[in-house]
C-alpha cells in the first residue's frame, strides 16, 4: 500500500471511529433524556401514544418522578380508589367499587386463563363515551396505564390473559386505582 493510500485509509478509519463514538453518545443521551413536566402531563392525560411507554418506564425508575406523576394524575382524575385492606387471589376475583365507578372481574367460561375486566362508570363524562376510559394503577410493581374502550350504557370491558401484568395490577388490592376524566 502506498503512503497516500495508507494515510487515506487511516483518515477514513479515524473518521469512522469518531462517528461511532458520537452516534453512540447521542443514542445514550436520548435514552437518558430528562422527563419534562409537559411529558408527565401528556402521559397522565393519555395523549402520548407513541412514546408513553418509554416515559412511563422512566417514571417508574425515579421515585421523585413517580410522586410528581401521581400528584398530576390525582389532580386530573375522575375518581380515586386507594389501596384496599384485604388480600386477593385469582380464585376470588374481588372487584372494587366507589361512588363513581365499579371494577369487576369475571373468568371467561370457555378459556379459563382469560379474565374480563368490566368497568362501570356511574356518572360518565362525555369523553368516556367518545374516547374511552384511561385508568392509572399505582402498585408495588410501578405505575401502569390501561386504556379501556368507549363506554356503552355506562360500561366498558377488556379481556386479559391471567398472566397479563396490567390485569395483575388491576386486581392488586394493595394498589391504588385512578380513573381519569
- For residues 6-17, average pLDDT: 75
Task: Specify the pLDDT at position 3.
Answer: 58
Task: Specify the pLDDT at position 139.
Answer: 92
Task: Specify the pLDDT at position 174.
Answer: 92
Task: Specify the pLDDT at position 28.
Answer: 44
Decide if 69 contacts 59 (C-beta within 8 A). yes
CATH of 78-180, one of 2.60.40, 1.10.3470, 1.10.287, 2.130.10: 2.60.40
Backbone phi, psi, residue 46, to 5°: 75, 30
Task: Specify the pLDDT at position 30.
Answer: 47
C-alpha cell recorded at residue 80: 380515586
**Is the pLDDT higher at 57 or at 21?**
57
Sequence-separated (6 or more) residues with CB below 8 Å from residue 84: 96, 173, 174
Task: Specify the pLDDT at position 97.
Answer: 93
Phi-psi region of 147 (alpha: psi -120 to 50; beta: other; left: phi over 0): beta
Amino acid at each position: 500500500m502506498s503512503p497516500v493510500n495508507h494515510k487515506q485509509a487511516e483518515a477514513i478509519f479515524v473518521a469512522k471511529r469518531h462517528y461511532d463514538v458520537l452516534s453512540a453518545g447521542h443514542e445514550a443521551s436520548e435514552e437518558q433524556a430528562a422527563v419534562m413536566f409537559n411529558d408527565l402531563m401528556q402521559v397522565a392525560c393519555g395523549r402520548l401514544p407513541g412514546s408513553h411507554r418509554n416515559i412511563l418506564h422512566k417514571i417508574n425508575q425515579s421515585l421523585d418522578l413517580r410522586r410528581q406523576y401521581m400528584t398530576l394524575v390525582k389532580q386530573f382524575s375522575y375518581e380515586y380508589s386507594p389501596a384496599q385492606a384485604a388480600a386477593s387471589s385469582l380464585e376470588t376475583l374481588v372487584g372494587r367499587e366507589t361512588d363513581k365507578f365499579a371494577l369487576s372481574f369475571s373468568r371467561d367460561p370457555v378459556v379459563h386463563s382469560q379474565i374480563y375486566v368490566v368497568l362501570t362508570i356511574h356518572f360518565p363524562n362525555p369523553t368516556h363515551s367518545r374516547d374511552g376510559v384511561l385508568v392509572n394503577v399505582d402498585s408495588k410493581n410501578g405505575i401502569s396505564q390501561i386504556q379501556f374502550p368507549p363506554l356503552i350504557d355506562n360500561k366498558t370491558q377488556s379481556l386479559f390473559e391471567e398472566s397479563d401484568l396490567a390485569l395483575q395490577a388491576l386486581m392488586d388490592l394493595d394498589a391504588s386505582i385512578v380513573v381519569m376524566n
